[in-house]
Amino acid sequence: MPFTTKLSKDVKIGGIDLWRVSLLMSNNCGMGLEFTPTPISEYLDYFFIHGYQITEIAHDHYPQTFEGNIKCDTVVIDLMGEYVGLADLKTYYEFFETHFQYNNVIVIGCYHSNDKIRFRNWRFFKDDFPNMFFVHPQNDTFNLWNISGTPQVIMGTNMVDKKEHLFMCLNNGMRDHRCSMVHSILKRGLEKDNLLTSRSQQWNKINIPEIQIDNPLGGQEDKGTSRWNLQPEFSNKSYIDVITETKYHHPFYTEKPLKTFMSLQFPIILGYKDSVKYYRDKGFDMFDDIFNHSYDTLPINTEEELHYKAKVFVNELKYATTLNLHKLYYEYKDRLLYNQKRLFQLVHIENDRDFALGKFIFGNNISKNRSFTKIVS
C-alpha cells in the first residue's frame, strides 16, 4: 500500500465493524493505520466510527445489536468523502449522549479551511483542498496500485481526434439545482445530440423525465461503479463537462470537476457559490476567455435564486453551441494538459494531507519521518 501510519506510543483504539471506517484503511484515502483493536468493553483512547454507522444504529437499521455503554476519551467520526451539516451532527450528538461516556469528538470529512461550520466543542479537520480525498494516492478509485500489485498513478485520459458531442451532463440523484438545470436544458432543446442523463422526478409540479444513455461498457450510465471513476466512454465524446455538484448550499467540493481536468474537458460547474473561483484559486485554468462564469458568483438561498442561477448557467451553455469547440480543443491543447498536470502536482507533489490528518487526530504521537512511507511512483 502507498502509505502506512505508525504511532510512537501505544494507545487503545476500538470500534464496531472497523472495516467500515475508511479513515483507518490502506485504501479509500485512509491512513493505513497499523494497530491491534482493543475490545470496546475496555476504556479506549479513541473510538472510531463511520457516520453511516451512527445513522443506521440511531434509526434501528444496523445489521447487529449495538449495546452501547462505550467509555473513551475521544470519538472520531469518519466522514471521508462526505459533508454533513448541523442536522446530522445533532443526530450524532444525541447518539453519543445515549450510548457513550466521552470527552472529545473529532470529525473527519470534506471541509474546506474557510468553512465556518461549528458544533459544540467538536473539532473538524479542514483542508485547503478537501476534495483531494477522491484522487489521493491512497484512494484506489483513480489509482491502480491495489489492482496491479505495482503502484501506478493515473494521470487521466489522452487527447482524441474528434468528439461527437458538445457536452455531457450526467446526473444521478436529482437534487433541486439539478432538476432546475435539466428543466432549463430541456426547455432550450439543448439535450439534442448531447449526453444528458436524469432521473424521473416530480419537482415543483414539473415532471423531470427519466433520461438514460447507453454505456458502451455495458448497461446504462448509472449502473455499476463506473460513475465513480473516469468515464472515457463519455468524456472522449464530449468537449464540455457540465458538472452539477452534489450540494449548492454548502462548500462541498467533490471528485466531479477533478474528473473533468483528468479527462481534458472544458469545465462548467453548477454548485455552491464561487465553485469556479475555488478551482481558479488552486491554479486551474477555467477558460475564462471562452466562458462567462458570472453565474458562479450567484448564491442560492431561495427558490427564485435557484431558478435564476440555473437559467444564467444554461444561457452560457447555449452560448457554447455557437463556438467551434473542436477548433478550441486543439488550440488549447496545452492548457487542457496543464490542468491535468496541475492536479497531479497538487495531489502527488504538494500533498501534505496525510501527516496533517494524522497529527490532527493523534497529536505528537506520530512522526512525519517515521509514520508515512510513500512508495507511489
* 8 domain-assigned: no
185 lies in which domain range?
Answer: 165-331
Pair 170, 210 in one domain = yes
Q: pTM value?
A: 0.88
Pair 321, 238 in one domain = yes
* 233 domain-assigned: yes
Q: Where are the beta strands (DSSP E) in 37-159?
A: 44-50, 70-78, 100-101, 104-112, 123-127
- The confidence score (pLDDT) of residue 206 equals 87
Residue pLDDT, tens place only, 330-352? 999 999 999 999 998 998 888 77
Give the number of domains in the chain. Answer: 2
Question: How far out from the chain centre does Cα 131 lie?
Answer: 5
Residues of the chain with pLDDT under 50: 1, 219-225, 369-377
Q: In this structure, what CATH number is given to the domain that contains residue 241?
A: 3.40.50
* 3 domain-assigned: no
- The confidence score (pLDDT) of residue 197 equals 93
Question: CB under 8 Å to 46, separation ≥6 — which residues?
Answer: 11, 12, 13, 14, 72, 73, 74, 75, 76, 361
Pair 196, 72 in one domain = no
Q: In the beta sheet, which residues pair with residue 72?
A: 44
Pair 148, 296 in one domain = no
Contacts 24+ apart (CB under 8 A), 299-307: 299/273, 300/177, 300/248, 300/249, 300/273, 301/249, 303/204, 306/176, 306/177, 306/180, 306/248, 307/180
